[in-house]
A and B are shown apart, each in its own frame.
Chain A
Amino acid sequence: MTLALQPARRRHRAFSVPLLLFIGSAALYLCAALWTQSLNQLSAEGIVGLLQRTVALGTVALGQTLVILCASIDLSVGSMISVGAVLASFIMRGAPAMMVPAVLVVLLVAAGVGAINGLVIAKLKVSPLIATLGSGLILQGVLSSGFNNFAGSVPPAFQAVAYGAIGPLPWSVLGLGLLALGVSWLLRSTRFGAHLYAVGGNAAGARLAGIRTDRVIVQAHTLCSLFAGLTGLYLASRLRSGAPWVGRDGVYDLESIAVVVIGGTMLAGGRGGVWGTIAGVLLFAVIDASFNMLGVPAFPKQVIRGAIVIAAVAVYSLRNKGHVA
Chain B
Amino acid sequence: MKRIVLRCSAAALAVGLATGAGAQEFNSQKDFDYAQELLKMTPQGPEGKPWEQNLGGKQIDTSKYKKPGPYNICFSNAGVDNPWRVVGWTDMQAQADMLKSDIKSFTAADAEGKDDKQISDINSFVSSGKCDALIVSPNTTAALTPAVEAACKKLPVLVFDRGVQTDCPVTFVNPIGGYGWGITTANFIVSKLPKGGKVLGLRILPGVDVLENRWAAADRIFKANNINVVGAEFTGGDNAKTKTIVEDYINRFGKIDAIWMDAGATAVAAVEAFEDAGQPYPIITGEDQEDFLTKWKKEKLTAFAPTYPTYQWRAPVIAAVKILKGEPVVGPTWKLPQPVVTQETLDQYVDPNMPPLHYAMCGCKDMPGYPQRWGGK
Contacts and interface: CB of A to CB of B under 8 A. Distances in A.
Contact, chains A and B (beta carbon distance below 8 A): yes
Contacts of A289: 120, 124
A230 interface: no
Contacts of B206: 148-149
A286 to B, nearest CB: 12
B142 A46 contact: no
Which 9 A-B pairs rank lowest in CB-CB distance, beginning with the nearest?
Answer: A146-B13, A148-B207, A239-B143, A148-B206, A298-B110, A149-B207, A292-B109, A45-B127, A151-B21
Interface string B111-130: 01111110111011001111
A288 B123 CA distance: 13
B128 A46 contact: yes
Interface string A36-70: 00101101011001101100100000000000000
Interface in B13-31: 13-14, 16-17, 21-23
B114 A250 contact: yes
| Among A120, A250, A298, residue most surrounded by chain B Cβ atoms (within 10 Å) | A298
Given A46-B124, A149-B206, 16 more contacts: A40-B128, A40-B129, A53-B117, A53-B120, A120-B2, A142-B9, A142-B13, A146-B21, A148-B207, A238-B116, A238-B143, A243-B207, A249-B115, A250-B114, A289-B120, A299-B80
Nearest to B206: A148
Contacts of B9: 109, 142
B140 interface: yes
B128 A241 contact: no
Nearest to B112: A298
A159 interface: yes
B118 to A, nearest CB: 10
| Among A53, A249, A289, residue most surrounded by chain B Cβ atoms (within 10 Å) | A249
A294 B359 CA distance: 30
A41 B120 contact: no
Contacts, number: 121
Nearest to A147: B21
A149 B23 CA distance: 8
Interface of A: 38, 40-41, 43, 45-46, 49-50, 52-53, 56, 90, 109, 112, 116, 120, 138, 142-143, 145-153, 159, 163, 235, 238-241, 243-246, 249-250, 288-289, 292, 295, 297-299, 301
B16 A90 contact: yes
17 contacts: A45-B127, A49-B123, A120-B2, A138-B6, A143-B13, A145-B13, A146-B16, A147-B13, A148-B21, A149-B21, A151-B16, A153-B142, A240-B145, A246-B115, A249-B114, A289-B120, A295-B107
Interface of B: 2, 5-6, 9-10, 13-14, 16-17, 21-23, 79-80, 107-110, 112-117, 119-121, 123-124, 127-130, 140, 142-143, 145-146, 206-209, 212
A133 B17 CA distance: 25
A306 B21 CA distance: 38
Contacts of A112: 5
Contact of A244 (B109, B127, B130, B207): B207
Given A38-B130, A116-B2, A298 B107 contact: no
B22 A151 contact: yes
Contacts of B6: 138, 142
Contacts of B13: 142-143, 145-147
A264 to B, nearest CB: 25
A92 to B, nearest CB: 13
A107 to B, nearest CB: 15
| Among A38, A53, A292, residue most surrounded by chain B Cβ atoms (within 10 Å) | A292
A151 B17 CA distance: 10
A110 B342 CA distance: 53
Given A250-B114, A298-B79, A146 B124 contact: no
| Among B5, B128, B208, residue most surrounded by chain A Cβ atoms (within 10 Å) | B128
Nearest to A83: B9
B312 to A, nearest CB: 20
B14 A46 contact: no
B4 to A, nearest CB: 11
A295 B124 CA distance: 13
Nearest to A231: B116
A244 B208 CA distance: 12
Contacts of B121: 292
| Among A145, A148, A163, residue most surrounded by chain B Cβ atoms (within 10 Å) | A148
A40 B128 CA distance: 5
Contacts of B107: 295
A41 B119 contact: no
A288 B120 contact: yes
Given A147-B16, A238-B116, A297 B110 contact: yes
Contacts of A142: 6, 9-10, 13
Contacts of A239: 115-116, 119, 140, 142-143
B120 A145 contact: no
A79 to B, nearest CB: 12
A41 B22 contact: no
Contacts of A250: 114, 116
A92 B16 CA distance: 13
Given A49-B127, A239-B116, A289-B124, A146 B14 contact: yes
Contacts of B5: 112, 116
A241 B143 contact: yes
A292 B16 contact: no
Contact of A163 (B113, B120, B128, B146): B146
A149 B24 CA distance: 11
Contacts of A45: 127
Nearest to B125: A292
Contacts of B145: 240
Contacts of B140: 150, 239, 243
Nearest to A239: B143
Given A90-B21, A147-B17, A150-B22, A49 B120 contact: yes
Given A149-B22, A150-B140, A152-B21, A52 B130 contact: no
A138 B2 CA distance: 11
A22 B239 CA distance: 44
A45 B128 CA distance: 9
B130 A150 contact: no
